[in-house]
Amino acid sequence: MAEQSIPVRLSHLLRHCSVGAIVRGPDSLFVVPDIREWGGPGDDPLEREIRYVDQVRSSLEIDERLCRPPVAVEKDRWRSGWIKAPRFPGWMRCLKCGLLHYKPWNDRERGGESCWDSAAGSGNGARIDGERGAGTGSGNELGSGSERGAARLSARPTSDGCGGRLEQVPWVLVHKDGYLADVPWHDLAHAGSAHRGADGTGACRRDWREPYLVLLDGEDDRSSRRPAILCSRCRSRGELASRLPFASGVWQQPWLREGPAESPVELAWIMEINDVRVHSPVTVTALVIPPESRIRRGTPVDRLYSSSRHRQRIRNARNLRARTAAIRRLSGEYGCTPTDIEAAILEIDRGYPLYGQSISGEDLRKSEFGALTDRIPDLRDDEDFVTRHCTPAWKALRGRVANGIARRAIDAVDRLVAVVRLKEIMVFRGFSRAGGDRLPPDIVRESDWLPAVELHGEGIFFTLDEMVLARWEASTALHDRTDAFTRRYYQSELQDRPPDVFVTPRLLLCHTLAHLLIRKLEAEAGYPAASLKERLYCADGSAANAETRLNEPAADVPMAGILIYVAVADEEGSLGGLAELAEPERFLRLLTGALEEADWCSLDPVCGEREGHGPGLLNGAACHACALLPETSCEHGNILLDRTFVKGDGGEIPALLDCVPETP
């Protein structure tokens, strides 16, 4: 039986197509297995290791190595570098008569002749191929594979003459500990029935081969609002419940059979496959900054550092003569002199590339903020982090604009930087189901690596003036409104997801302003909002304030910065010219437009008067008409947004621009 090939973008393999996710292929549904199954025969994940990310691993508190997902390579009419995914759910329903069939694609003995057309059937699995493309061509969407297998399964006429199509059922069984399984349709049909014994067998036994269960939806049976399951043999009947007892250790995941020796029976939920609670990926990101962003690829020190085998060859030399011979051989292989190899060895011994520098998780944003605001000496265009400072030209623009919102917007911004090149590392840490605990990418916790991708792009970075913020933050009403958000946030379940959030007035201000600016970029510059991302840098630098603001970490330097960027899994970057919009006159038009649109929403006054709505009541004056963005754009999941922090409330809470000092 043919397998389907499903091209998937690398960034999607770390999000909605990651481990444990149900993926929709051209004709069927599949579940992505854990990373032990990632790759073809002989594939070594460490050959895909991402180098020069020690700062990222340290800042994200990751001990495992970071490795790229396998990328499909055409070889002998087939592809290597795949993720072999089993079909799931295993039950299929006839769209005409409602009869359920269990894995009819596995019925090899009868060839599927009794209930489905094997000639039209696709295989029992799929190969999910990673693609590096930037989102164009036929491979950027699921279901556009080069080998489609076949069309949906078609039922052969049964004894009653039914010739309907088979499609996989849309319901699965989900446990909060991360387990996923098929719905036990037999148990549902015979729940409380005299035909079912205490052990689930009784007079009417399960039969995995012959279809005998009929699933009736609301259109089939108008006497009940819920779908019903009917046994055609004993006429037992049950309804689709919302929760069921589940022996969690028997079927941990659809691709696993092993489980703990003792399997306690607990309640699990029956959910539709498109329910967001079925699979929630957990990813973390960090920027590659100096010194690792300044590595010169292909140099002797780079090649020697990247090859533990070559370093071991030099270390294992028995004497000086053998060591000299090993260095001479390497110099010939690298195309350099033995002196270059000696210098590379010395640099590695001195601690290349970090030379003892490390970054903790608390220092991650502060280090990135410093890299964005400080001028990097002797910067080369081929480095992974390239900035162009536009602050002098931005300040000079003040004398060429009339007094008004544009003049105040210039004074409110302290720094303006065009990020010409950046590299972001996205790491998949695991997933959860039904709001439960996070499971690792390797379900059995044996692997020493995590899936990660390198995303290349560009962006715009700017900071707000601290003097303006100090006047704005002096409002007591502003802090009272922030405290309401803080209480709701720490009473919700949302505080456990990354990144760590410390709710402050400037966070709500910067977050809302970033969303308004992204929407302005979408309207004026032609960028789809889903392609843009935000990265916020917020801290007031006050240790005394940190003690009273729910454990907010003190920062040596106050931060109020916003990075809006685009990053794709293509080494050439986005090629979209986003960094060019940091040119002062163009950025001024975007910023003033975003600030003006903060004053009014098409759903006002309803939107503007809201004080709590959305997940955990963690949004104020923000809705889909003014401030909400696609989930891929927001690093906080579309919460902690309130236009009041930008525009004021017309009373005790001032607008940001109203706090700009009046200067000639």
pLDDT per position as a tens digit, 435-461: 888 899 998 888 889 999 999 999 999
- Determine the distance from the C-alpha atom of residue 656 to the mean position of all C-alpha atoms in its chain, rounded to a whole number: 32
Is the CB of residue 86 less than 8 Å from the CB of residue 24? no
Tell me, rounded to whole angstroms, the distance of Cα 123 from its chain centroid: 29
Query: Where is 339: in which H helix or E strand?
Result: helix 338-349
CA 312/CA 409 separation, integer angstroms? 58
Of the candidate ranges 185-194, 227-236, 592-601, the one whose mean pLDDT is the lowest: 185-194
**Per-residue model confidence (pLDDT) at position 261:** 47
Peptide bond into 605 cis (omega under 30): yes
Mean pLDDT across 588-592: 95
pLDDT tens digits, 224-234: 567 888 898 88
Average pLDDT estimate for 111-123:
40
* Per-residue pLDDT, 198: 42
Distant-in-sequence contacts of 212-221, Cβ < 8 A, 24+ apart:
213/99, 213/100, 213/185, 213/186, 213/189, 214/97, 214/98, 214/99, 214/100, 215/93, 215/98, 215/100, 215/169, 215/185, 216/98, 217/98, 220/98
The one-letter amino acid at 362: E
pLDDT for the residue numbered 263: 59
pLDDT of residue 139: 29
Instruction: Inform me whether the pLDDT recorded for 137 exceeds 60.
Output: no
What the block records as the tokens of 448 is 């020493």
- In this model, does residue 591 exceed pLDDT 90? yes
Q: How confident is the model at residue 142 (pLDDT cuts 50, 70, 90)?
A: very low
d(CA 195, CA 201): 9
Decide which of 295 and 128 is more confident.
Answer: 295
Of 30, 5, 3, 4, which is closest to residue 17 (Cα–Cα)? 30
Report H helices in 374-504.
Answer: 391-396, 405-412, 466-472, 476-491
More confident residue, 357 or 144: 357
Instruction: Say how far apart CA 420 and CA 414 lie, in whole Å.
Output: 19
Kindly report which listed range (196-205, 328-337, 633-642) carries the lowest average pLDDT score.
196-205
Mean pLDDT over 539-552 rounds to 50
Strand partners of residue 73: 80
Q: What does the H/E/C string look like for 353-366?
A: CCCCCCCCHHHHHH
The pLDDT mean for the chain works out to 81
Say whether pLDDT at 199 is over 80: no
| Top-ranked range on mean pLDDT: pick from 247-261, 433-447, 592-606 | 592-606
Percent of the chain with pLDDT over 90: 41
Q: Mean per-residue pLDDT for 22-28?
A: 88
Q: With 70 as the cut, is the pLDDT of residue 271 above it? A: yes
Task: Indicate if the pLDDT at residue 166 is higher than 70.
Answer: yes
pLDDT above 70: residue 636: yes
Highest mean pLDDT among 309-323, 343-357, 406-420: 406-420
The answer to whether 231 and 237 are in contact (CB under 8 A) is yes
Q: What is the C-alpha separation between 623 and 606, in angstroms, rounded? A: 10
- The pLDDT score that the predictor gives to residue 197 is 44
Question: Residue range 210-226: average pLDDT?
Answer: 70
pLDDT band at residue 472 under the 50/70/90 scheme: very high
For residue 286, which phi and psi values (nearest 5 degrees)?
-155, 150
Report pLDDT for 218. Answer: 58
Q: Please list the residues that pair with 49 across neighbouring strands.
A: 67
Most confidently modeled range among 64-73, 221-230, 408-417, 441-450: 408-417
Greater confidence, 199 or 507?
A: 507
CB 178 within 8 A of CB 436: yes
d(CA 652, CA 661) in angstroms, rounded, equals 18
Share of the chain residues as helix, strand and coil, in percent rounded to the nearest 5:
30, 20, 50
Distances from the Cα of 622 to the Cα of 369, 565, 600, angstroms: 27, 22, 11
Q: Which residues contact 25 (CB under 8 A, 6 or more apart)?
A: 4, 6, 126, 142, 143, 145
222 against 429, higher pLDDT? 429
Tokens of 336: 């350099």
143 confidence band (pLDDT: 50, 70, 90): very low
pLDDT score at 497: 62
96: three-class secondary structure by DSSP: coil
- The encoded tokens of residue 178 equal 């991360």
Q: What tens digit of pLDDT does each residue of 504-522 get?
A: 999 999 999 999 999 999 9
- Residue 109 scores a pLDDT above 70: no
Residue type, 221: D
Give the span between the Cα atoms of 653 and 476, in whole angstroms.
Answer: 8
Place 359 in a pLDDT band, splitting at 50, 70 and 90.
low
